[in-house]
Amino acid sequence: MSIIQAHMSLSLSLALFSLLFFQIPTTDAKSITVSVKEYTGIRRNEIRGVENQFYYFQFCTCPSTFTERNFKVSECVCSDAQKGKKLDDSIPQAKFFSSSRNCGTGFCINAKIDNEQGEKLFVKVFIGSTVLTYPDYQVLPARSTKSVAILKTNKSSKIRLTYSTETDDDGTSKTAIEKTHWSNTILRDSRGGALDFFSRLTNQKKYDLKSASVPLDTDVKRLSNIGAIKSYLFSKSKVDKQDPARYDIPKLKEWLVSYHNVYRSKHGAPALISDSVLDSRGKRWADELAYHKGCLVHEQPRTYGENLFFFGARHLPSPQTLAAAVIQSFYLEGIGYNYSSWRPMSFFKTGHFTQLIWKNSRKIGVGVSIVKSSSIRSPCVSSSPNMYFIYVVVKYDPAGNFESHKAYLNNVERPVA
């Protein structure tokens, strides 16, 4: 049994036209992978009221001249925020798999970043919008053997971080999507201040140059309606048989961002940059849908653009397959789209497609939540024993689908390739 549902909103995206399976890109830049083995949490008396929030780690490579005092995030290359464990589960110590090759959702902290700026590695630890480390970014020696760093915090306790690093200099990325220039292009830093516009523009251009072409996949290309996508995902789930309880959500998010940018490039739109703030907002709403609402409803107020997707089965297809189908469902609304005209409220028919390729959108965040059917009671879904539901929330900033003829003509372009 499977269930799929795609939902549209003022500033969301739901579309797919020709889905492409991703090839591993090559780059001449070296990359460095940071693997966290374990860390100690701050003391229990310092987490009252936030016990169920999560630790997040962000790693950056910066010019060798940088120190903790003169650190400038706009001149560094940083990874996406890496999710640790709940504060309450990190006392006294949180442990993870020792190898990134065994990564599963919630079972490792593993960040891969381009090391084009130099050999200096920094880390920031935060909870939501609160940065724990003080100074915000602190130096980590880059060593292949297990290392221990004592991170100073703005609390009375410190964080003891055990980690190792691995340098990939063979010119080939070992993962399907480069995580470069993500935090560099966040419009606002962790303290809410706006980052330099020129730095964001420069980093956007660097990212665009690294975007790789992706060959069409004939299976996904043939999916011309939601029913076909439902059947495709269900058949793939029976073949791939991915365990929902250990699903590789980070990899799913990477593929979703990759496929977004593939389709945007077809319409002359710049690549979207992953943003940890949007990721956090997306995850929060995905959890709300999964554990409380059940139905696909949009978050209010609509601060960001938003896309929602839902699928249910006993097993899940691979992250790449699921991401391909999600974006295909978004792009479907573009079939027959009139690029020369726009009518008020037309986003109800084409809003997912137009948000997907909205030219002015620059950042993206993806939230994913997987829940067992026995944990949810909602008239929107039907359940059976051992059924799992996966909710995908995509956030966009700036939001698309502004209700004006000029906005649509300027932001929704005909395919260029």
- pLDDT, tens digit, 9 for 90 and up, residues 270-313: 999 999 999 999 999 998 888 887 777 888 888 899 989 988 88
Cα–Cα distance between 212 and 69 in angstroms, integer? 36
Task: Mean pLDDT check: name the lowest of 98-107, 152-161, 195-204, 275-284.
Answer: 195-204
Q: Does 371 lie in the same domain as 223?
A: yes
CA-nearest of 40, 7, 66, 248 to 153 is: 40
Predicted confidence band at 103 (pLDDT cuts at 50, 70, 90)?
A: low
- Could you read off the pLDDT of 114-129 as tens digits, one per residue? 665 567 999 999 987 7
pLDDT for the residue numbered 199: 35
Cα–Cα distance between 352 and 275 in angstroms, integer? 20
Position 89 pLDDT exceeds 70: yes
Q: Does 35 lie in the same domain as 115?
A: yes
Mean predicted lDDT score pLDDT of the chain: 75
Cα–Cα distance between 296 and 290 in angstroms, integer? 9
Cα–Cα distance between 246 and 121 in angstroms, integer? 30
> Does residue 104 belong to any structural domain of this protein?
yes
Q: Does 227 lie in the same domain as 132?
A: no
Task: Mean pLDDT check: name the lowest of 131-135, 202-206, 288-292.
Answer: 202-206
Question: Quick one: average pLDDT of 337-353?
Answer: 77
pLDDT for the residue numbered 346: 62
Question: Quick one: average pLDDT of 341-350?
Answer: 70
Q: Which residue has the tokens 């070992």?
A: 174
Task: Mean pLDDT check: name the lowest of 75-79, 140-144, 202-206.
Answer: 202-206
Position 5 pLDDT exceeds 50: no
Higher-pLDDT residue of 198 and 344 is 344
- CATH number of the CATH domain containing 140: 2.60.40
Return the ∠ at Cα 404 (arms to 401 and 408), rounded to 5°.
55
Two structure tokens written together for 143: 């060593």
Higher-pLDDT residue of 402 and 287 is 287
> Does residue 13 belong to any structural domain of this protein?
no
Q: Does 146 lie in the same domain as 223?
A: no
If one counts every other C-beta atom within 10 angstroms of the C-beta of residue 145, the result is: 6
Q: Does 226 lie in the same domain as 156?
A: no
Query: What's the Cα-to-Cα distance from 155 to each of 46, 55, 91, 133, 413, rounded to whole Å?
Result: 7, 14, 15, 9, 51
- Could you read off the pLDDT of 323-342 as tens digits, one per residue? 999 998 989 888 888 888 87
Q: Which domain holds residue 328?
A: 218-410
Q: What is the total residue count of the chain?
A: 417
> Does residue 39 belong to any structural domain of this protein?
yes
Q: Which amino acid, one-letter code, is at 378?
A: S
pLDDT for the residue numbered 381: 64
- Could you read off the pLDDT of 47-86 as tens digits, one per residue? 888 888 889 898 988 888 999 999 888 788 887 778 888 8
Indicate whether this model's pTM tops 0.75: no
Position 6 pLDDT exceeds 90: no
Q: Does 223 lie in the same domain as 159?
A: no
Total domains present in the chain: 2
> Does residue 191 belong to any structural domain of this protein?
no
CA-nearest of 269, 390, 268, 330 to 9 is: 330
> Does residue 208 belong to any structural domain of this protein?
no
> Does residue 162 belong to any structural domain of this protein?
yes
pLDDT for the residue numbered 96: 80
Q: Does 245 lie in the same domain as 334?
A: yes
Which of 103, 137, 168 is the last residue in one of the domains?
168
Q: Which amino acid, one-letter code, is at 214?
A: V
- CATH number of the CATH domain containing 290: 3.40.33.10
Question: Quick one: average pLDDT of 141-147?
Answer: 85
Position 182 pLDDT exceeds 60: no
Which of 133, 153, 168 is the last residue in one of the domains?
168
Q: What percent of the chain has pLDDT over 90?
A: 29
Position 366 pLDDT exceeds 90: yes
pLDDT for the residue numbered 344: 63
Q: Does 243 lie in the same domain as 369?
A: yes
> Does residue 5 belong to any structural domain of this protein?
no
Q: Does 164 lie in the same domain as 64?
A: yes
Q: Does 233 lie in the same domain as 150?
A: no
Q: What Rg, from alpha-carbon coordinates, does the chain have?
A: 21
Q: Does 249 lie in the same domain as 113?
A: no
> Does residue 190 belong to any structural domain of this protein?
no
Q: Does 163 lie in the same domain as 241?
A: no
Predicted confidence band at 98 (pLDDT cuts at 50, 70, 90)?
A: low
- Could you read off the pLDDT of 240-279 as tens digits, one per residue? 899 998 999 999 999 999 999 989 998 999 999 999 999 9
Question: Quick one: average pLDDT of 221-226?
Answer: 76
